[in-house]
Amino acid sequence: MRALSLEKNLQYQANHPDPRPGEGECLVRVRMAGICSTDLQLVLGYMQFRGILGHEFVGVVESGSANWLGKRVVCEINCVCRHCDMCLSGLANHCRKRTVLGIAGRDGCFADLVCVPEANLHEVPDVLTDEQAVFVEPVAAAYQTLSQYPFVAKTKATVVGSGRLGLLVTQVLAETGCKLTVVGRNAAKLLLAEKRGVQSVHVDDLICRADHDVVVDCTGSPEGFDLATRLVRPRGSIVLKSTFAGERGVNLAAVVVNEISVLGSRCGSFSDAIHALVREAVEVRPMITQTVPFDQAMDAMTAASQPKHLKILLDMRK
Ligand SMILES: [Zn+2]
Ligand SMILES: [Zn+2]
């Protein structure tokens, strides 16, 4: 099969051996996959991952349990043991022994075929296109923000970062009716938020008054976190949505002095995400800036790091 694999370097392999499903796993033929900032970070050395990249995809089950054969599916990325203290206390996404699709200890979906635990699958409703379904994983991550902070109409909230994840978080928060602003540096991307009825501010025009109840940092950069500490009010909260392997330190004094709560936030509910896409509470199609045949995946990875791009999809159907 074809695969995009991170060895010493990133390699497109036309003849990678096909994977064999283990116990409780299905073999899925990938239809489309999305490139995410985490993939770009992994290439730069994050998690010291080796293997096939990719964790956002839609595919069709080719072998495994009869219940799933032929179904179009998306897949939760944390593959868990179900026996450790975290799993038994209902926090399976924090499983001590987990592997994570294309991120830690397990090959991902930038390939024609991928093996995944049957328990991780969700069927995709017919009304969603492949292009929409690819977004279920990052939309679920955006929904996790809602489960961690009680957004209500009077909540003054800002999303810092108008990239891939920032625009999804923005749409999810907009549905709560909170007083929402998105901050970014790319006018075209901010316009997408404006089109969804969310006020946007260019970072250069921003005045930090330390008066926001909650700031969601989706920048993946220490600068974004610094900005969040200047926007949030004393005793307010910062939700950190993106990882950065910080080679430069962040100033934590503001967190102490202003008694800010910092909430790390990672994966969320696939069912919430699927429902949001079905009822178009989250509109993802304008975020697709390129769809690339899979054999051009190397070029697509290069392009994905350019600021002009939002989501680039890899198309395995051709
Ligand atoms: Zn991702
Ligand atoms: Zn576990």
Q: How far does residue 99's CA lie from ligand 2's centre (Å)?
A: 10
Distance CA 141, CA 100 (A): 14
Asked whether residue 216 falls in the same domain as residue 302, the answer is no
Q: How far does residue 77's CA lie from ligand 2's centre (Å)?
A: 14
Distance CA 38, CA 267 (A): 13
Q: For the chain, what is the domain count? A: 2
Distance CA 298, CA 59 (A): 21
Mean pLDDT of successive 10-residue segments in the chain (318 residues)? 96 98 97 95 92 98 96 98 97 97 98 98 98 98 97 98 95 97 95 95 96 96 93 97 71 93 96 97 95 98 94 95
Q: What is the pTM of this model?
A: 0.95
Give the domain range for residue 8: 3-135+284-315
Helix (H, G, I), strand (E, B) or coil at 209: coil
Q: How far does residue 289's CA lie from ligand 2's centre (Å)?
A: 37
Q: How far does residue 78's CA lie from ligand 2's centre (Å)?
A: 10
Of the ligands numbered here, which is closest to the C-alpha atom of 39?
1
| CA distances to 7, 14, 86, 109 from 11, in Å | 7, 10, 35, 14
Asked whether residue 160 falls in the same domain as residue 48, the answer is no
Asked whether residue 229 falls in the same domain as residue 291, the answer is no
| CA distances to 68, 113, 205, 242 from 61, in Å | 6, 10, 49, 30
Asked whether residue 219 falls in the same domain as residue 294, the answer is no
Residue 318: what pLDDT?
Answer: 81
Domain assignment of residue 272, yes or no: no
